Chain A
Amino acid sequence: MLQFLSRRLLSTIPVLLIVAVLVFLVLRLTPGDPAAVLAGDAASTEQIAQIRKSLGLDKSVPEQFLIWFGRMLTGDLGESYYYKTEVTTLIGQRLEPTLSLALITITIAVLVAVPLGVMAAWRFGSWLDRALMSFSVLGFSIPVFVLAYMLIWLVSLKLGWLPVQGYKPIAEGVGAWLYQLILPSITLSVIYIALIARVTRASVLDTLGEDYIRTARAKGLPEAKVLMRHALANAAVPIITVIGIGIALLIGGVVVTESVYAIPGLGRLTVDAVLARDFPTIQGVILFFSVVYVLINLLVDLSYVFFDPRIRY
């Protein structure tokens, strides 16, 4: 296990290096000048040139890369051109809203989707199964922003139950934190409920046809026990994989939801940085996302051991 862990952690180094080089080069090759963005609409070409110089953008690309890369090796992701704040500080500020949203969303999704998927597999071909499949299609098809606006209209504007927008840090109270995040989490969870429920259904359906399920039933075990202990436990690996991927996607890709609900998370930070050509922030955030993806994948792989004793590292 330790060897596997070390090997996996070591393998992340070339991944991160490749990501770092690619991100740096792609940003320099795309059109757009951070200095022009910073200078404002009425700035002169001379002012833009002066800003470019002050940011070190007048240096050659290899020179810029070496400076950035050298700093990165010491854990310094640089300072945002746009916000004049350390990129690590910016990521730190935006991490809590994004993690909170991801956590609540995935909790709702798992709590709803796994039982639904198991039930659908158990009652394969029934109205419940068909209803779940229809819901899945709907969940995949409906754009997040459409669902968000519909929920805001109904839950916030018509019924007045929940706020339209905003985020409260957990330090201001769990209640306030949860109150702000319920609606965005429900909005986001719909697609994950659809995804996890489908995977759960398919996976459980597979295991329900296995000999050991027939044996368990023949032994006279209650159906709930058969489903939970034997079917679901053996179907867990693909479900855990999907949940893991879901968490990784939620941390890196909830831009629309963060925009509609005005949640100052990492997704919004990334979009702002891209629009402002804030190179250090884009580079820092993408590297951070890469680390998150690698770590979550690792955790998912490790979790297989607990769900399937046949897997050994």
Chain B
Amino acid sequence: MISMNARRRALAALGTIAVAGLLATPGARAQDTQVLRIVPHSNLAILDPIWTTAYMSRNHGYMIYDTLFGTDENGKVKPQMVESWTESPDHRLWTFKLRKGLEFHDGKPVTGEDVIASLQRWGKRDAMGSALMQFVSKMDAPTPDTFRIFLGEACGFMLEALGKPGANVPFIMPKRVADTDAFKQIDDYTGSGPYVFKRDEFKPGDKAVYLKNARYVPRNEPPSGTAGGKRVYVDRVEWNLALRDAQAQVNALKKGEVDIVEQLGFDFYESAKTDPDLQIPRYTNAGLQYMARFNHLHKPFDNPKVRQAALAAFQQEPFLRAQVGVKSLYKPCYSMFICNTPYGTTAGSEVQAKGNMRKAQELLKASGYDGTPVVLMKPTDLPSIQKLPDVAAQLLRQAGFKVDLQAMDWQTLVSRRAKKDGPDKGGWNMFLTAFNTFDVWSPIANPTADTRGEKSGWFGWASDDKVQELRNQFMRATDEATKKDLADKIHVRMYEIGTHAPVGEFDQPMAARKNISGFFITNNNLYWNLKKN
């Protein structure tokens, strides 16, 4: 017979086991699947990387799609899906052969037809793509693993365009998907990239899941930028889209609930650096560039002399010190095409590089500035750039400008900057933003170098025939020396007319747990080659 005490003890033990079982977390259970848990820099909403230029959509694209060419860490274009290619002596016929073993996630082979459809769709959306398509007279696929591009006249940026690392990236999709109207979003996410998108597990604002693509055949070269072998060593990658509070991200990383925080706040840099469980991996040698954009349509910045005065006032160190703060993460650079990149040059930048407040005041006086206030838009909800407008306002005031600093949320800013109305009718004079360096390092891709005035693609609507003429020559130049020379001339002219003011370059730190290895220079947020030990 069991005594009352024994029965109570048995019941208590059973109760303890039950509670322990109830509270046992899935994380505590043995798991064979290796999961890389990443906190991306923002929310993933749009799954079509051709439809939008949003960086999150671009990064999603790199997970599931492959590209014909990649751009390595030094800005050199290297083959990716392409095995070999030839260029006719007159540069008007390009023949590309695809690598063997390229397959979409549904098991179908990647063919030249798929490539052509993908390039056509991309050419309708992307600035560089549409520039390329102006030269293209025909594309065909004589064999399943070959495609040809016929040009009406020679152009010098074929590979640069096909290997473009920044949004919109010419990702290759199956023809049935790429045939979707370029102005409608796709709803089939079949790619041929290193990961397969788990559509059924995607919860907007919560998580996005990618599985290792077992069919993917990586190149043999080591990974570098968006080029080289895309080897996947984990079974599953989870993007935590709900974790967006900067402090909570760091807490989760410290606790080991996530493996990588893509964008570590500058305020957390020092503490993460000294944490024994964390690392700050180096993944970029180009970083990002801050810039101040003038609205060329309205007073006072419709006057190039006034823009010159602002350029002279905009010394970069105050911007970088205020916004980044960590000296090792920023560098002043007076190149609109980014220092240490293929077309990086400082030619013509003296007005800003050697400028000072006294010079700015003199230039402003000489410009005939009539005291029109500068409507400067300040985003209050974007910590990554929100201090820049305060610095700009202060420097402009010191130079003699009247400044109307208007606070708003970022989405109001992006809506308002598209308005061409005068500042008194809901328009604007200046805003500041940041660009990934490879979005601005080429005179073709750089949106501020588009100077077609009101027809111009990018907000601010700079107008200058000379820059346009030089860009046209650049597009047609087929040798590197000429291209570099033209890039210099474009740069000089852009500074002369003051398209915008670069206000410094910086590295956006990433933080990871110490057990993650395999980071490489991507100049981007790419998640192959990573091992979880």
A residues bordering B, Cβ < 8 Å?
Answer: 31-33, 36-48, 50-51, 54, 80, 82-85, 90, 93-94, 149, 152-153, 156-157, 160, 163-168, 172-176, 178-179, 259-264, 268-269, 272, 275-277
Contacts and interface: CB of A to CB of B under 8 A. Distances in A.
A262 B240 contact: yes
Given A164-B252, A165-B252, A259 B245 contact: yes
Contact of A45 (B43, B45, B418): B418
Q: What 5 pairs between A and B have smallest CB-CB spacing?
A: A40-B53, A44-B457, A33-B415, A264-B206, A262-B243
Contact of B247 (A80, A149, A173, A277): A149
A82 B45 contact: yes
Contacts of B248: 152, 164-165, 259-262
Q: Which interface residue of B125, B127, B187, B252 has the most chain A CB atoms within 10 A?
A: B252
Interface of B: 21-26, 43, 45-47, 52-55, 57, 125, 127, 166-167, 183-185, 187, 203-207, 240-245, 247-248, 251-252, 254-255, 257, 381, 408-412, 414-418, 420, 426, 433, 435, 439, 447, 456-459
8 contacts: A41-B54, A42-B439, A42-B458, A44-B458, A84-B185, A163-B25, A269-B205, A272-B205
A174 to B, nearest CB: 6
A83 B204 contact: yes
Contact of A32 (B54, B55, B412): B412
Nearest to B255: A164
A43 B415 CA distance: 12
Question: B244, B257, B415, B447: which has the most chain A beta carbons within 10 Å?
Answer: B415
Given A37-B414, A275-B409, A276-B45, A42 B247 contact: no
A179 B20 CA distance: 11
Given A45-B420, A149-B247, A157-B251, 4 more contacts: A38-B46, A82-B46, A152-B248, A164-B251
A31 B415 CA distance: 8
Given A48-B418, A93-B206, A275-B381, A39 B53 contact: yes
Contacts of A178: 22-23
Contact of A166 (B21, B257, B381, B412): B257
A163 B26 CA distance: 12
**B interface majority secondary structure:** loop
B57 A40 contact: yes
Contacts of A47: 125
Given A40-B53, A84-B46, A260-B245, A173 B26 contact: yes
B242 A264 contact: yes
Given A32-B412, A165-B251, A43 B21 contact: no
Contact of B418 (A33, A165, A174): A33
B127 A44 contact: yes
Nearest to B58: A40
Contacts of A163: 25, 255, 257
Contacts of A80: 204
A164 B414 CA distance: 33
Contact of B255 (A38, A157, A179, A263): A157
Given A40-B167, A262-B244, A263-B242, A275 B411 contact: yes
Given A85-B204, A264-B205, A176 B52 contact: no
Nearest to A52: B418
B291 to A, nearest CB: 11
A49 B430 CA distance: 21
Contact of A39 (B25, B52, B381): B52
Contacts of B46: 38, 82, 84
A268 B255 CA distance: 23
Nearest to B447: A42
Contacts of B412: 31-32
Contacts of B447: 42, 44
B54 A40 contact: yes
Nearest to A258: B242
Contacts of B127: 42, 44
A41 B433 contact: yes
A45 B459 contact: yes
A269 B25 CA distance: 26
Contacts of B167: 40, 42
A173 B45 CA distance: 28
Contacts of B55: 40-41
Contact of B242 (A173, A179, A262): A262
A33 B417 CA distance: 10
B409 A38 contact: no
Contacts of B204: 80, 82-83, 85, 90, 93
Contacts of A168: 25-26
A268 B242 contact: yes
A173 B251 CA distance: 25
A176 B26 contact: yes
Contacts of A43: 52-53
- Which of A31, A40, A149 has the most chain B CB within a 10 Å cutoff? A40
Nearest to A44: B457
Contacts of B439: 42
Contacts of A54: 183-184
B244 A175 contact: no
Contacts of A44: 127, 447, 456-458
Nearest to A152: B251
Given A46-B457, A179-B25, A264 B411 contact: no
Given A33-B415, A33-B418, A37-B415, A165 B257 contact: yes
A96 to B, nearest CB: 11
Contact of A262 (B22, B252, B254, B411): B252
B414 A41 contact: yes
Contacts of B206: 93, 167, 264
